């Protein structure tokens, strides 16, 4: 692997100092990135010292360093996983050829589009989450939010490195545009739908990091199988950071469920009003948030049948999740039995496998999400509750693909417009739910304290206890205005 240069203006393991042109281009982009971060990054906490991990290496152990840092001073770096010896194109028409170290000319535009689409999600999520610090349920949770935010910033760096290095002027223009688009902006929105939806409460944040970051995991896993080797190595290292984001989401929701079960047991009730009066979030409301964010994230995989997906696979730019577990890496004659709407119900059609690659990736994703919900249900089981959470069917509430035009219930059965109108408030957050959850979003920033609607974590970060100064608040911090004590040490 390249030497890790931690003291450079841009920490990296790609020998940046040996490519002066590239180094200058990235150093020119850096202040623009910081301007974007100050404008669109976490609002109100930029002067505070946050206990963050920073990537400093790419080895299996010891790749991260933990310390209190101010976010604008975070050392965003460029790190690629070590090169694999004699790596080959893992799939498609070029299967078995040596992996590409340069962009294959014929695929240039397609590859740029793949990288830009991935890149755009990274700053988008930071923008979506920028106000959440003000309502953090604990210092521990606030720290996790900011950890996710700075790492999404690093993922943007990872993608911008590829654009600057391999796409010349076009790449530099794309890198500028990544700082210009804004989540939810009517004139200049982010590229993908879910990344334009506001994440305004912590229940949404935990669902987003569970389900939307998990879409990210699967996209990165497919890109890790790219025949374009620098993309593969970049995404492989991003996946190590991504794991923490999904941990934050899954354990976040797990702790909300744990708290709710505890309140139900204490009060001996399932009554929604009584649970709410006690400051907890009733399970049906948690389920509706789950349904909303899962169904939104399912769209991110694109249409069930896609000629773009077929071309990405054929060209070897994007593989399948764990490509090596398949025997046939060319997938030219294979078929995929796909459920499709027809005859007033659902029928199965045989689709050429290459055209079904989005659905293949969605299968992997859905299976992974089932495991998550299973682990949440074990929390209910342990609390001796009989209620269970479920994953809605992938046909439910879709906005993209062959199911977008019809309505389906949470089990995937086709229903009429009238049935949908009558029932969607049972399945998706209602105005009343939103008002209630919003009313709970009050900051709880004193050491060791936690909001009423969530249980504390089993353990803290990096061996530290839950009751610890994860945030050292500056006197000017929004946190101090919201009741936190300013730090004496910071």
User: Using CB under 5 A as the criterion, which residues of the chain lie in contact with Fe ion when the complex forms?
Assistant: 122, 152, 155, 213, 242, 245
Cβ 175 to Fe ion, closest distance in Å? 16
**In the numeric block, which tokens belong to residue 388?**
């269970």
- The least distance separating Fe ion from the CB of residue 242, rounded to whole angstroms, comes to 5
Query: CB atoms < 10 A from the CB of 5, how many?
Result: 17
Among all chains, which residue has been given the structure tokens 């590229």?
Answer: 191
Closer to Fe ion by CB, 297 or 315: give it: 297
- Minimal distance, residue 37 CB to Fe ion, in Å: 15
Q: Which is nearer to Fe ion, 225 or 282 (CB)?
A: 225
Complete DSSP assignment for 264-330 = HHHHT---HHHHHHTT---HHHHHHHHHHHHHHHHHTT--SS-HHHHHHHHHTSS--TTGGG-S-SS
Nearer of residues 49 and 152 to Fe ion, judged by Cβ: 152
**C-alpha distance from residue 401 to each of 45, 79, 110, 196, 221 (Å):** 40, 35, 21, 19, 22
Q: Give the CB-side neighbour count of residue 464, counting CA atoms within 13 A.
A: 18
List CB contacts of 24: < 8 A, sequence separation 6 or more.
none
Q: Scan for tokens 């682990």, then name that residue.
A: 375
Min CB(122)–Fe ion separation in Å: 5
Sheet with 64-70: list strands edge to edge: 64-70, 49-55, 471-472
3-state helix, strand, coil in the chain (%, to 5): 50, 10, 40
Q: Which among 73, 104, 78 is positioned nearest to 89, based on CA atoms? A: 104
Q: How far is the CB of 304 from Fe ion (least distance, A)?
A: 25
As a whole number of angstroms, the distance between CA 200 and CA 82 comes to 38
CB of 78 to Fe ion, least distance (A): 14
What is the smallest separation between the CB atom of 145 and Fe ion, expressed in angstroms?
12
One DSSP character per residue, 161-204 reads HHHHHHSHHHHHHHHHHHHH--TT-SSS--SSGGGGS---SHHH
Quick one: 235 or 355, whose CB is closer to Fe ion? 235
What is the rounded distance in angstroms from the CA atom of residue 115 to the CA atom of residue 13?
20
Nearer to Fe ion, 161 or 466 (CB): 161
- Among left, alpha and beta (phi > 0; psi -120 to 50; other), residue 448 is left
Nearer to Fe ion, 264 or 298 (CB): 298
78 or 484: CB nearest Fe ion: 78
Helix (H, G, I), strand (E, B) or coil at 434: helix
Nearer to Fe ion, 249 or 429 (CB): 249
Burial class from Cβ neighbours inside 10 Å (0-12, 13-18, 19+) for residue 12 reads buried
Dist CA 23 CA 9 (whole Å): 9
Whether residue 13 contacts residue 58, with contact meaning beta carbons closer than 8 Å, is answered with yes
CB of 299 to Fe ion, least distance (A): 17
Shorter beta-carbon distance to Fe ion: residue 183 or 285: 183
Nearest CB to Fe ion, comparing residues 122 and 323: 122
* Least distance CB 118 / Fe ion (angstroms): 8
CB nearer Fe ion, residue 213 or residue 409: 213
Q: Nearest approach, Cβ of 52 to Fe ion (angstroms)?
A: 15
Classify 425 in phi/psi space as left (phi over 0), alpha (psi -120 to 50) or beta: alpha
Shortest spacing between CB 156 and Fe ion, in angstroms: 8
């Amino acid at each position: 692997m390249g030497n890790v240069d931690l003291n450079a203006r841009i920490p990296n393991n790609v020998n940046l100092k040996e490519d002066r042109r590239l180094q200058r281009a990235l150093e020119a982009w850096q202040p623009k990135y910081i301007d974007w971060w100050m404008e669109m990054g976490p609002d109100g906490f930029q002067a505070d010292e946050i206990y963050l991990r920073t990537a400093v290496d790419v080895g299996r152990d010891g790749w991260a360093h933990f310390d209190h840092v101010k976010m604008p001073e975070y050392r965003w770096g460029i790190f690629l996983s070590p090169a694999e010896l004699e790596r080959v194109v893992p799939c498609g028409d070029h299967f078995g050829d040596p992996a590409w170290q340069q962009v294959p000319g014929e695929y240039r535009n397609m590859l740029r589009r793949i990288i830009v689409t991935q890149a755009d999600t990274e700053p988008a999520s930071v923008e979506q989450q920028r106000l959440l610090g003000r309502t953090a349920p604990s210092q521990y949770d606030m720290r996790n939010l900011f950890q996710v935010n700075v790492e999404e910033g690093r993922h943007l760096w990872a993608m911008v490195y590829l654009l600057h290095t391999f796409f010349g002027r076009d790449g530099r223009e794309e890198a500028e545009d990544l700082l210009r688009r804004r989540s939810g902006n009517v004139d200049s929105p982010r590229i993908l739908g879910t990344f334009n939806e506001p994440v305004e409460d912590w229940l949404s944040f935990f669902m987003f990091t569970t389900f939307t970051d998990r879409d990210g995991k699967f996209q990165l896993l497919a890109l890790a199988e790219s025949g374009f080797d620098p993309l593969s190595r970049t995404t492989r290292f991003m996946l190590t950071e991504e794991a923490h984001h999904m941990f934050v989401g899954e354990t976040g929701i797990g702790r909300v469920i744990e708290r709710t079960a505890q309140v139900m047991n204490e009060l001996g009730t399932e009554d929604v009003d009584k649970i709410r009066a006690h400051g907890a979030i009733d399970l049906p409301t948690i389920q509706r948030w789950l349904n909303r964010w899962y169904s939104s994230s399912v769209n991110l995989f694109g249409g069930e049948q896609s000629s773009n997906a077929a071309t990405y696979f054929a060209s070897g730019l994007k593989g399948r999740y764990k490509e090596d577990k398949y025997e046939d890496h060319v997938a030219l004659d294979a078929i995929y039995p796909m459920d499709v709407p027809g005859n007033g119900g659902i029928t199965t059609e045989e689709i050429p496998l290459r055209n079904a690659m989005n659905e293949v990736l969605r299968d992997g994703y859905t299976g992974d999400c089932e495991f998550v919900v299973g682990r949440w249900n074990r929390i209910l089981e342990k609390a001796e509750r009989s209620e269970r959470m479920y994953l809605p069917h992938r046909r439910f509430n879709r906005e993209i693909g062959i199911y977008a035009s019809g309505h389906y219930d949470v089990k995937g059965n086709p229903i009429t417009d009238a049935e949908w109108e009558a029932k969607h408030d049972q399945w998706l957050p209602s105005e009343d739910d939103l008002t209630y959850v919003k009313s709970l979003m009050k900051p709880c920033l004193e050491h060791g304290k936690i909001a009423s609607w969530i249980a504390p974590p089993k353990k803290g970060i990096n061996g530290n206890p839950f009751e610890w100064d994860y945030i050292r608040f500056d006197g000017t911090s929004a946190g101090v205005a919201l009741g936190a004590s300013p730090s004496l040490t910071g």
